[in-house]
Structure 1
């Protein structure tokens, strides 16, 4: 077996930040908007995320941890036109512009499926792993993430022999990019050359959704495929159905999930879906496609349950694990679909459930919380090992969360200058735990 065939998939999860709250900031994200300004529970949210990471690590799935972004971003408030001391700026934003206070306090970087698009070295013409941090220009709160995300990736994957960290695409409407939440990879084994599928919502002349915005553009998909030096014969750029977006499917990973040679998707996921599936099977004859029809599961129930945002990984036993949010158990239609999947012996699919209520209420499920990075053994050794989850690191992070995070947060709490100091102390300690150096501006 050559080195590429022995590649593994690293799951990079973002730690939920200390200012986790329900801002309802993302148009088209129904869960996020429906919980706007409700009381949030940051400590619970962070511990839920860590429990999911621990479960995967216990199954010998490589698991990494990305640090939260510093929030509230008071410099961003000043860029919005507010003046005075930090305390003055926070107080003014709460009284006059609470939406802006929510924007600069968002903990949405926890959803690392949006952090970047990643192409493994087996797919690229220069044999290196390519990353393009997402510009996330479609929403103001997520647009703030790009610069720090880029810096963190360049710190963790700093060996140019193995890794290329591209600059984000221009933050323009034409190149709107939402990261790996709109990318799938179909392949016989992780380390083999694969078919990279990029999913967009809009392009010139295409039909657009009527209710919610289509965030990803075809131009962004084409640019990333080009910059990543992908073989054009192994790239498929496809359109998400406008009616799925209008139902609340704001990213492809809310309606489709792929792992190695398995694709699990809703029948309303893609424009011209039957033709696409035939095309994908011609590239990968071993591809197994499981489509869930609207008779089985409505688009409304798809969004409510987040079935397709389940995290799917390959186990050393030869099985695949589908890690579903607990909300799936509350849907009889979803449970019927899962029972059928388990009855199919050819799938070798194990199903487990995970409680991520704090993330789910903010619009992100298991798959939103992780970025998939396929690495060979040499590439794994070349990255920073200090962020790889071990039982010892997990215990340290749990203790860190319990000491530093508040139990509850309301919108007025975000204007508390004491919270700002609490966050600085916590993140300063975290950079030592993860051995990342002084990566935050307040540390410099």
Structure 2
């Protein structure tokens, strides 16, 4: 593999900051946790603080950690596009009373899962040597399809230097090019600064209905979308692998690949039922990776069932290379609470693999809405020059952690029910919070209400 010359290399995790209208609407068909907790009372303040605590803990471990801003919700601009008129309070009332399903969708808290914000390819892999970003169009779910334009503006405000970063428009808003972002994308490499193998995992072929596909739950990522992202990012055939999700596990609630597999550097950690043609695809990955060692860690069904993997999000964990060179798993406490998963992880760290530690975090507010630690972060591999070009206001520090906690205490409610989303005062509170946040993170006017 060709080396990308730089003094230092990092994988930076940019975690989504939970928004002030965090709620459980149960909108995501195919996501078992989302459906099972629909309409429950949420705690926006607890959710935001749980996320911030995880970010700060990784920062304290020596990781470079960033913050991604939430979206404005309720999405008044979309309601106006759909024909609801009047002042903002009237738009809220009309939508909530005349079209409650639409109204719940435009209130969705789903942008907190920034693994779906975009697909990112580091400069070591791309033809022009720049870091490429393509926001995910998320066409499979209406409430998520509202996200790509704002995600794109936030990413451009964070990575605003054309010498190092290249931003693309999201793919066409059509189910044939359904793209779920980094949740269906994994990169393996010997070092973050070396060219790697980018693995695009898809659920179905959009233009060939004769190929295998799930029958109960939707396959959100298409093969054609994955190919399009690779073309946009200037990836070569030599460093790209396309692998299909097992339709059976999608029908068991594995709505994204990051619910059943996770990779980092030279480790691919996956369930034996995760993929189709697994052995052939692993050989292809090894061949393109080269002579250097790869660790394929396969979890057997008799060790951890798919049901337990989905319930605990064993694979929706962060797999990180620590400053000492060993790897650690950042897992939700649900993994600790499940006897079978806890026993597996206890045994895993004793094996001869790079994974040496497991750290458990309480992210229950996210888990109840259908997303674990891996859902909450977007990974961006950077060299030192690229990192220096990132908006420094979004990089976690002791002072930023303190300021964001104060901001949450000032603006967030302790509890929020689905009925509270109709309150015009909540919209005003949320906008005041987001306006102040854009000043803290130096993002400029990224929200529609700021541009009106």
Q: TM-score, normalised by structure 2?
A: 0.96
User: Please, which of 83, 86, 95 is the counterpart of residue 84 of structure 1?
Assistant: 86
Aligned to 2:387: 380
Would you say 1:214 and 2:219 are equivalent positions? yes
Q: Residues 27-46 of structure 1: matches in 2 within 5 Å?
A: 27-46=29-48
Asked if the contact 2:77–2:448 (Cα under 8 Å) also holds between the matched residues in 1, the reply is no
Aligned to 1:369: 376
Asked if the contact 1:4–1:122 (Cα under 8 Å) also holds between the matched residues in 2, the reply is no
User: Please, which of 234, 243, 252 is the counterpart of residue 238 of structure 1?
Assistant: 243
Give the distance between the partners of 1:190 and 1:5, measured in 2 at CA: 12
Asked if the contact 1:265–1:292 (Cα under 8 Å) also holds between the matched residues in 2, the reply is yes
Give the distance between the partners of 1:138 and 1:348, measured in 2 at CA: 34
Structure 1 runs (4+) deviating above 4 angstroms are none
Asked if the contact 1:5–1:189 (Cα under 8 Å) also holds between the matched residues in 2, the reply is no
Q: Residues 141-152 of structure 1: matches in 2 within 5 Å?
A: 141-152=143-154
User: Please, which of 272, 275, 293 is the counterpart of residue 277 of structure 2?
Assistant: 272
Query: What CA deviation, in whole Å up to 9, does each residue of 1:285-335 have, x standing for no partner?
Result: 411011001111111111001000011111111211101000001211111
Q: Secondary structure at the match of 2:97?
A: helix
Q: Secondary structure at the match of 2:379?
A: strand
Would you say 1:261 and 2:266 are equivalent positions? yes
Aligned to 1:323: 330
Give the distance between the partners of 2:75 and 2:159, measured in 1 at CA: 25
Aligned to 1:224: 229
RMSD between superposed Cα atoms in Å? 1.3
Give the distance between the partners of 2:346 and 2:213, measured in 1 at CA: 35
Give the distance between the partners of 2:82 and 2:324, measured in 1 at CA: 53
Aligned to 1:398: 405
Would you say 1:304 and 2:304 are equivalent positions? no
Asked if the contact 1:4–1:192 (Cα under 8 Å) also holds between the matched residues in 2, the reply is no
How far is 1:2 from its partner?
6.8
Number of equivalent positions: 444
Aligned to 1:431: 438
How far is 1:84 from its partner?
2.9
User: Please, which of 141, 162, 173 is the counterpart of residue 171 of structure 1?
Assistant: 173
Q: Residues 50-89 of structure 1: matches in 2 within 5 Å?
A: 50-89=52-91
Q: Secondary structure at the match of 2:297?
A: strand
Structure 1: runs of 5 or more not aligned? none
Q: Secondary structure at the match of 2:407?
A: helix
How far is 1:96 from its partner?
3.2
Q: Secondary structure at the match of 2:342?
A: helix
Give the distance between the partners of 1:207 and 1:67, measured in 2 at CA: 38
Give the distance between the partners of 1:91 and 1:44, measured in 2 at CA: 28
Q: Secondary structure at the match of 2:221?
A: coil
Give the distance between the partners of 2:115 and 2:29, measured in 1 at CA: 18
Give the distance between the partners of 2:256 and 2:75, measured in 1 at CA: 26
Give the distance between the partners of 2:355 and 2:324, measured in 1 at CA: 10
Asked if the contact 1:5–1:191 (Cα under 8 Å) also holds between the matched residues in 2, the reply is no
Q: TM-score, normalised by structure 1?
A: 0.98
Q: Secondary structure at the match of 1:126?
A: coil
Q: Secondary structure at the match of 2:406?
A: helix
How far is 1:55 from its partner?
0.6
Q: Secondary structure at the match of 1:174?
A: helix
Q: Residues 110-149 of structure 1: matches in 2 within 5 Å?
A: 110-149=112-151
Give the distance between the partners of 1:244 and 1:149, measured in 2 at CA: 29
Give the distance between the partners of 2:348 and 2:354, measured in 1 at CA: 7
How far is 1:101 from its partner?
1.7
Aligned to 2:425: 418
Query: What CA deviation, in whole Å up to 9, does each residue of 1:369-424 have, x standing for no partner?
Result: 00000001000111211110110000000010011000111111101000011011
Give the distance between the partners of 1:424 and 1:93, measured in 2 at CA: 19
Asked if the contact 2:4–2:194 (Cα under 8 Å) also holds between the matched residues in 1, the reply is no
How far is 1:76 from its partner?
1.4
Would you say 1:353 and 2:360 are equivalent positions? yes
Give the distance between the partners of 1:367 and 1:59, measured in 2 at CA: 17
Which is worse superposed, 78-87 or 22-31?
A: 78-87
How far is 1:340 from its partner?
1.7
Would you say 1:109 and 2:116 are equivalent positions? no
How far is 1:350 from its partner?
0.9
User: Please, which of 299, 310, 313 is the counterpart of residue 292 of structure 1?
Assistant: 299
Give the distance between the partners of 2:359 and 2:157, measured in 1 at CA: 34
Q: Secondary structure at the match of 2:176?
A: coil
Q: Residues 193-204 of structure 1: matches in 2 within 5 Å?
A: 193-203=195-205, 204=208
Q: Secondary structure at the match of 1:171?
A: coil
Asked if the contact 1:5–1:192 (Cα under 8 Å) also holds between the matched residues in 2, the reply is no
Which is worse superposed, 80-89 or 207-216?
A: 80-89
